[in-house]
């Protein structure tokens, strides 16, 4: 068999296959322990989904990847460069390689869709001047990618929640990022609009060849887009691997979460109950059925 030139180079450094890595990440806010030693390698060109109940530390983890939070212990790496110790100034070029769809993906309400999407290009203008023509071209190209080319002249207030997310996504990718971070991309959307976003996540991966990292508590979305799945619980990784292994897991927390038997509120109630039970004696509980006074299910 004849080998291509590229192969031995690509395989000589195993880390080259993981552009983004975190090692032993620990983060506390005062007495709240949020990340308890997270180590993860994110495979190149694939979609990694971090699944877990709300409050388990997903957004905090994502922010560490681009230096919006700094770890108490551990390290964050991008293409073999340590980023958690970089100054804001040295971080800027690293951040440019990332597109970030924030949880609340806020658009600037006073700007048209087109100006919102062009915003990162204008910010960059000072360091790498580009022509107005090229700006317009790139804005239209990303709007076309999210299927909203015709909305260019609209104001954000004229759009639905799902459309706003798609515009925020267009803005996140306008600088052609190597890595795209999605924080709860489908939260608050109905199933049909969620599925449009899922489709876009899959499409972005192939169109940009980007490494994608999605954090979500939406199971349907997770299984739809993930090449690699990570389940996080209370600041720790519970299980990690191809999506298939999650379906076969016998771990009670994993299987309850996946069967949708425990809502987030219930998981919280279970955690709180076991903490309190450890501290003081209480009226006896039915241990098979956690009390869930605030559950919405």
Structure tokens at 272: 């709180």
Ranked by CB distance to Mg ion, the top (closest) residue is 59
194 binds Mg ion (CB under 5 A): no
186 binds Mg ion (CB under 5 A): no
Q: Decide whether 63 or 141 has the Cβ nearer to ligand ADP.
A: 63
Q: Checking DSSP bridges between strand 20-29 and strand 73-78, what pairing results, if any?
A: antiparallel
How far apart are CB 181 and ligand ADP at their closest, in Å?
12
Q: Checking DSSP bridges between strand 228-233 and strand 236-241, what pairing results, if any?
A: antiparallel
How far apart are CB 72 and ligand ADP at their closest, in Å?
13
How far apart are CB 185 and Mg ion at their closest, in Å?
11
Computed from CA positions of residues 34, 201, 187, 263, in that sequence, does the dihedral angle turn out positive or negative? negative
Of 17-25, 38-46, 58-66, 277-285, the window that binds Mg ion (rule: CB under 5 A) is 58-66
Q: Decide whether 53 or 71 has the Cβ nearer to Mg ion.
A: 53
Binding at 120: pick from Mg ion, ligand ADP, none (beta carbon under 5-8 Å per type): none
Q: Which residues bind ligand ADP (CB under 6 A)?
A: 29, 32, 34, 52, 54-60
Note whether 140 and 152 are within 8 A (CB).
yes
Q: Decide whether 36 or 135 has the Cβ nearer to Mg ion.
A: 36
Q: Decide whether 113 or 180 has the Cβ nearer to Mg ion.
A: 180
Q: Which residues pair with 23 in a beta bridge?
A: 75
Q: Decide whether 138 or 233 has the Cβ nearer to ligand ADP.
A: 233
Q: Decide whether 79 or 265 has the Cβ nearer to ligand ADP.
A: 265
104 phi and psi, to 5 degrees? -105, 15
Query: 């909203």: which residue's tokens?
Result: 148
Binding at 71: pick from ligand ADP, Mg ion, none (beta carbon under 5-8 Å per type): none
Binding at 34: pick from ligand ADP, Mg ion, none (beta carbon under 5-8 Å per type): ligand ADP
Note whether 40 and 237 are within 8 A (CB).
yes
Binding at 214: pick from Mg ion, ligand ADP, none (beta carbon under 5-8 Å per type): none
Residues that bind Mg ion (CB under 5 A): 59
């Amino acid at each position: 068999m004849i080998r291509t030139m590229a192969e031995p180079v690509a395989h000589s450094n195993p880390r080259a296959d993981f552009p983004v890595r975190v090692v032993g990440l620990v983060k506390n806010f005062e007495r709240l322990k949020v990340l308890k030693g997270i180590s993860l390698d994110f495979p190149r060109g694939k979609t990694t989904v971090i699944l877990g109940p709300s409050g388990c530390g997903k957004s905090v983890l994502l922010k560490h990847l681009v230096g919006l939070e700094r770890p108490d212990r551990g390290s964050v790496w991008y293409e073999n460069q340590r980023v958690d110790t970089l100054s804001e100034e040295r971080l800027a070029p690293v951040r440019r390689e990332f597109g970030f769809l924030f949880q609340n993906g806020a658009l600037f309400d006073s700007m048209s869709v087109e100006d919102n999407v062009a915003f990162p290009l204008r910010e960059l203008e000072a360091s790498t001047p580009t022509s107005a023509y090229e700006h317009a071209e790139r804005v239209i190209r990303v709007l076309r990618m999210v299927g909203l080319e015709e909305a260019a002249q609209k104001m954000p207030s004229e759009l639905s929640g799902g459309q706003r997310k798609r515009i925020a996504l267009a803005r996140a990718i306008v600088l052609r990022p190597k890595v795209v971070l999605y924080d709860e991309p489908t939260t608050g959307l109905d199933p049909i609009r969620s599925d449009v976003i899922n489709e876009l996540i899959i499409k972005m991966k192939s169109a940009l060849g980007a490494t994608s990292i999605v954090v979500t508590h939406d199971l349907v979305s997770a299984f739809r887009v993930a090449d690699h799945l990570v389940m996080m619980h209370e600041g720790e990784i519970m299980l990690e691997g191809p999506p298939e292994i999650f379906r076969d897991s016998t771990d009670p927390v994993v299987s309850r979460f996946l069967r949708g038997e425990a809502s987030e509120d219930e998981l919280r109630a279970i955690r709180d109950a076991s903490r309190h039970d450890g501290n003081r004696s209480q009226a006896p509980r039915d241990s098979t059925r956690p009390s869930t006074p605030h559950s919405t299910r």
